[in-house]
Every structure is written in structure tokens, then in C-alpha cells.
Chains A and B, each alone.
Chain A
Amino acid sequence: MMLHKLLSGDFPRSRLLAAALLAVFAALALAPFLFSGARALNVAATVCVFVVLVASFDLLLGYTGIVSFAHTMFYGIGAYGVGLSLHSVGPTWGAVFMGLTLSLMLSLALALVIGLFSLRVKAIFYAMITLAVASAFAVLASQLSDFTGGEDGRSFGVPEWLRPGFRLVEAEVFGTAINGKLLTYYLVFFSALALFLLLLRVVNSPFGRVLQAIRENDFRAEALGYRTVVYRTLANCLSAVMATLAGALMALWLRYTGPQTTLSFTIMMDILLIVVIGGMGTLYGAAVGAALFILAQNYLQALMKQASEGLAAVPLLANLLHPDRWLLWLGVLFVLSVYFFPTGIVGKLRGLKRK
């Protein structure tokens, strides 16, 4: 069956989850036609990129049981690679591919070195090393300001087809102009979809099964004859490559690259929150989680603002509900979900069926 092939035999296994996934897919696929306004489209594109980014992180955290804090570093390498290349060479497709190739090579090399260096030992060691390396990289990116634009980042032009002014056909389709923005959106959307399905293929392959075996009991996996270091390092490299591609897509969409949008530690925290709340060890969790999280990030704050203003008379409570404090509530949710439902939203939805 076609669908079976596409999803690699890994079905949502829950009607509610399937419905949620279909809703996310439909909303993203038709976003330019369903919603008007730049903001909604921006949210949709961010969701697409984050689905890939979070899914690739889940490959490490949920499937292999490795905690890495360097995921934003690879994301940043992708974004900076494409961005700086377009900035210095000029807006051509050649520049895009050159930037992409260079950043993929850099990511791969870094992932390989960090992996071989520290994946032999415990998970905790790897977490610390990646934290150190990633923060050094972030500082480096903002320090080398002649090259990277420093804290301000770099804005750059994109190839002509992707510019907002470009028209593929003059006529409007369903009241939406077929312009460069729309083309960029679909480039992001279909690339994200392809990468997501590829990841789904990977985790359901024999290779993916070995990764899960390592997560469950690495000693036993080793005893069965699998070189766990090799598998861990491969998973690390694969995840880094995916993150790099996600970063490149984000750079093309934003036409801007800066430390705040790609390298900052807050994004790392966001990824961690999405994976855990969405559900570790299922890629669908990444998709649902990313959609919910980005929506909350963009629209929940408005709600909190109202609540906060309503409670302005109560001093501490008003602060608790201040829109900037939404991370507090997510943090609490995060801690609770690690304890009480480690399988996240997806696990909950699948559990409902069994009762």
C-alpha cells in the first residue's frame, strides 16, 4: 500500500492522534490559502522547520537515549552556511548549494568528532560536553562579527524565484497571489515533509531498531554483537545533518540569520520541551508537539496578557501570568510530564485507545 510505504509501516495507532496529525498536515499544506496575513504564514513555516528539527532531536533523545545540547549548533551551522554564502556570493542557487554543502560537511565533521570523543562514556558526559561546545560555538559566532555579522546577524537576498516580488503566474489562485513567498513556503513545506518521512523510514529500519535496543539496554545490545559506539555516532551524525538542513530551510524562509534565531540556548530549551511534551520516542510526538508549541508561543501569550491585565491588582499573581512568563508554565508542564507521562501527548492518546 502506498500509505504503508510512505509512513514506513509506522501508523499513528490512535484515531485521535491520526486526526490531530491530519489536521496539522492539512493546515500546513494549505496554509497560504487558508490563512491570510504574513504572521500566520510565518507561524506555519516555523512549524514546518521545527517539525524536522525536533524530529531529528528525537532520533537522539527518544530513540537512542542520548541527551545532546548541541542540536541548535548544527541548526545554526545550516542557517549560517546558507546565509553567509548568499550574503557573500550573491543571490544565486549556486550559492545556496555551496553553503549547504559546506555546512553539511562541517556539521558532519563536528558531529563525528564530538561523537567519537565522548559517546564512549556515559550519557551525562556527552550532555556536558555538548553544552560546552555549543555555547563556545554560539559565542564564536557572535564574536567573529566581520564574518558572521555578530549579534546583528546577516540579512541576505535569496534567488529570484523565492523573492516576494516574483510572480510565477499573473493570475491569482483562490484569491492568493502565486508569488515568491508562496514558492518559498512550499519549498520549506515539501522539504520538511520529505525529511520527516525519511526520518520515519530511518527509525523503522533495522538500524532504528538497534538504536532503540541501545536506549533500552546498551550493555545487552553490545553483547548481542552491535558496536554501540558506531551506532550512537551514526545516529548523532544523522541527526546533525537533519538539523543542518532544517537550519538551511529556516534561513531561506527568514532571509536572515542571527544568533537569536538559530544558536540561542532558548531554542535548545524549546526543542527539549517540545520533544518531552510531545512524546519521546515517537516522531509523531515531534510533529504534534511542534505545532502545539509554536501555536502557543505565538497565540497563548495574548491570552496570558489578558489574564494578567485582569489580575493587575494582585501583585505576584499578575506577574505569574505575565505573557513573558509562559515558559514558567511550560517548565512546570515539562517536569510533570517527565515524571507522570514520559511518553508525552502521543503516549497519552495511544493509551486512551487501550482502555
Chain B
Amino acid sequence: MTLTTTSPPAEAELPRLKLDVAPLLVLPILAVLALPLVGSFPTWVTLTVAGLAMGMMIFIMASGLTLVFGLMDVLNFGHGAFVSVGAFTATLVLLPMQGWMQADSALMNLTALGLAIALAMLVTGVLGWAFERVIVMPVYGQHLKQILVTMGGMIVAEQMIHVVWGPDQIPLPLPASFRGAILVGDAAIEKYRLIAVAVGLLVFAAMFLVLNRTKIGLLIRAGVENGEMVEALGYRIRRLFVGVFVAGSALAGLGGVLWGLYKETLTAAMGADIMVLVFIVIIIGGLGSVGGCFIGALLVALVANYTGFLAPKIALVSNILLMVAILLWRPQGLYPVARR
């Protein structure tokens, strides 16, 4: 791909796209509305932080999927497999380095965790590449077969986890220095949730910068809007797509590690379970839109946490209700992508 095209000097400021603020406002409005319902301020803070943490993790897992769909019209139903594989790969580092994990030094904890995340992302990235080559490539443009084949790929991947790591659940304790909660006023906030929020924001910021400030990002965005046009201008959108697929898989792996540590037990089906939420998130956000995906993830997680506290019985249906409400408001999702 040639990245060195000369761009004309920017003479006049191009007309900017108007930022659509309505979806952005939904989040704070929701949080403020929930406050009187929850009743006590400390509980509300705890719930909100928990929701934000969960939302960030879901965003990390969902972002790759929505980009892949936007760019190439491929919806990978096997995306959940990367989440599971990522989490299980992390155990390869975390369990032998148990000493480092339990040591009372944040630095040693972070090193072990960093290594685990690096390995998990590497493995899921490579796996994503293989998945794209073997499973997805032969069925471009055929939605029905894509759904079936990626589903089949997930079954195989899930079973392979059983083959390699055995059929049992694997406990994955948190590193020593991330355990417990800190008290802010009366509100207890689990440390790990703060870390999840931080990592999520980092990923979002990195993604935002890459997409909006680099040439590759420009091409990806253009590809989402109109792939044929980008190809006609001489860029190989196929390669771009493989890159995005690999990056998306690696992010799913990262999300898997975070989610696994959050749950503290790993099962091979964890990826498939979380996929339901991920799908709801990308539908709410608008298929193909990263910003929508971010807001959708936070929205879903916050609603799940608030209703989980207020009315546990309907908490699990709350996602569906939220999705229905959003789709009635904006049938194409919060931020519809132009082509669809």
C-alpha cells in the first residue's frame, strides 16, 4: 500500500462534520436519572464505576468486531472465541508467575500482567490472521455462509480450548496489589475496576488517534464509508482489512484477559456468553461505528448495573429493552454509518 501520496496544502478549512451530540448526552442523563432511584450517593458511585469498568471491557471486545463489519461487511460470530483464547493464554504466563502475581509489589504485579496481556494479544492476533485466511476468506459477500462458518469456527476453537487446557474451570486470582477497594468518602470502589476503566480509556484514545490522525485511520474510515471508492483510488482494501481483523482479534484477546481477571474464573464458554452483550452493543452503536460502540458499551453496562441493583429480576432483560428503546429512537443505531 502506498502511503506517500502528496496532499495538497490545506488552504481553506474544510467544512467539518457536525458532531451529533444527542447520543453523547444520553449517558450523563441516564446516570443522573439513576441517582434518585438508587437513593444513596455512595452506592450510586460504586454502581457507576462498576458500570463504567464493565462497559470499557465490553468496548475493548466489541470495537474490533464493529470495525471488521464496517470495513468488509463481515460479521464474525466466532469473535467470542478470541476472548476465551486470550483469557486462557494469559494463564500460561500468570499461573507459572504466581509468585510475582502474589508479591506485594505493584511493579512485579504489573510486569506479570503486562507479559500475560502481550502474549494473549500476540496469540489471538495470530489466531485472528489464521481465522481470516482459513475460515472467513472463502465466504466473502455471502452472509448466510459467514454466519454458519464463523459459528462453526467458534465451536472448534472452544473445543480446542478444552483439548489444550482440559475441561475444568481455571481460577485466575487477581494480582495482590489490585485486590480490595479504596474508599472515596463513603463509596467503595474496587481497585481493579479503576484499572479496567483506565485501560479502556487508553484503548479508546489510541484507537481514536489512529483513526482520526493517521493515514491508515483515514483509509479505514474511508473504507467503512465506501470501500469500492477506496479501492478505485488504488488502495488495497483487502490488506487493510486483514490488518483490522488481526488488530480486532488482539483487542478481543486483551478484553478476554481483563474480563477473565474480573470474573476470576475462566470457562471455555466465557467468550460465547459475552458475545450476546457485544452484539447488543454494536447494534445499539450502529454497525461499523467505533464511537457508537463506545457509547453503546457504556450504556449497556450502566443500565445493567443500575437495574441489577434496583430490580435484579429484570436486569437480564434490561439489555433487550434498552436495545428496543434505542432502535425505536434511531433504527440504525446511535451513529448510523452512511452506507447502510
Contacts and interface: CB of A to CB of B under 8 A. Distances in A.
Interface of A: 61, 65, 67, 117, 122-125, 127-129, 131-133, 135-136, 139-140, 143-144, 265, 269, 272, 276, 316, 319-320, 322, 324-325, 327-328, 330-332, 334-335, 338-339, 342
A265 B316 contact: no
B155 A269 contact: yes
27 contacts: A61-B144, A65-B144, A67-B147, A67-B148, A117-B327, A124-B147, A125-B283, A125-B287, A128-B75, A132-B276, A132-B280, A135-B276, A136-B317, A136-B319, A139-B317, A140-B317, A143-B313, A143-B316, A265-B272, A322-B163, A327-B155, A334-B152, A334-B155, A335-B152, A338-B139, A339-B149, A342-B145
B148 A131 contact: no
Contacts of A330: 155
Interface residues of B, number: 40
A343 B153 CA distance: 19
B192 interface: no
B189 to A, nearest CB: 27
Nearest to B273: A135
A334 B276 CA distance: 22
Interface in B314-336: 316-317, 319-320, 323-324, 327
B279 interface: yes
B163 A325 contact: yes
B153 A335 contact: yes
A327 B272 CA distance: 15
A275 B239 CA distance: 34
A339 B138 contact: yes
Interface of B: 75, 77, 135, 138-139, 143-149, 151-153, 155-156, 159-160, 162-164, 166-167, 272, 275-276, 279-280, 282-283, 287, 313, 316-317, 319-320, 323-324, 327
Main secondary structure of the interface of A (DSSP, over half): helix
Given A61-B144, A67-B144, A324-B167, 17 more contacts: A67-B148, A127-B77, A127-B147, A131-B279, A132-B276, A136-B276, A143-B316, A144-B313, A269-B155, A276-B148, A316-B163, A320-B163, A328-B162, A330-B155, A331-B156, A338-B152, A339-B139
Nearest to B323: A132
Contacts of A124: 75, 143, 146-147
Nearest to B135: A335
A229 to B, nearest CB: 14
Given A124-B75, A335-B135, A335-B153, A131 B159 contact: no
B77 A332 contact: no
Nearest to A320: B163
Given A132-B280, A132-B320, A320-B163, A331 B155 contact: yes
Contacts of B152: 331, 334-335, 338
Nearest to B153: A335
A101 B147 CA distance: 33
Given A143-B313, A327-B159, A328-B156, A123 B319 contact: no
A129 B331 CA distance: 13
- Of all A-B residue pairs in the complex, the 6 with the closest CB atoms, nearest first, are A328-B159, A331-B155, A335-B152, A331-B156, A334-B152, A128-B279
Contacts of A132: 276, 279-280, 283, 319-320, 323
B286 to A, nearest CB: 12
Contacts of B283: 125, 128-129, 132
A217 B164 CA distance: 43
A320 B163 CA distance: 6
Contacts of A327: 155, 159
Q: Which of A143, A265, A322, A335 has the most CB of B within 10 A?
A: A335
Nearest to B157: A331
Nearest to B324: A117
Nearest to B151: A272
B148 A338 contact: yes
A67 B147 CA distance: 8
A340 to B, nearest CB: 10
Nearest to A269: B155
Contacts of B313: 143-144
Contacts of B280: 128, 132
A139 B147 contact: no
A125 B323 CA distance: 13
Contacts of A316: 163-164
Given A133-B320, A140-B316, A332 B156 contact: yes
A125 B75 CA distance: 10
A331 B158 CA distance: 10
Contacts of B319: 132, 136
A129 B143 CA distance: 15
Contacts of B144: 61, 65, 67, 123
Given A128-B279, A135-B276, A331-B155, A338 B77 contact: no
A127 B287 CA distance: 14
Nearest to B313: A143
B276 A131 contact: yes
B146 to A, nearest CB: 8
Q: Which of B153, B313, B316 has the most CB of A within 10 A?
A: B316
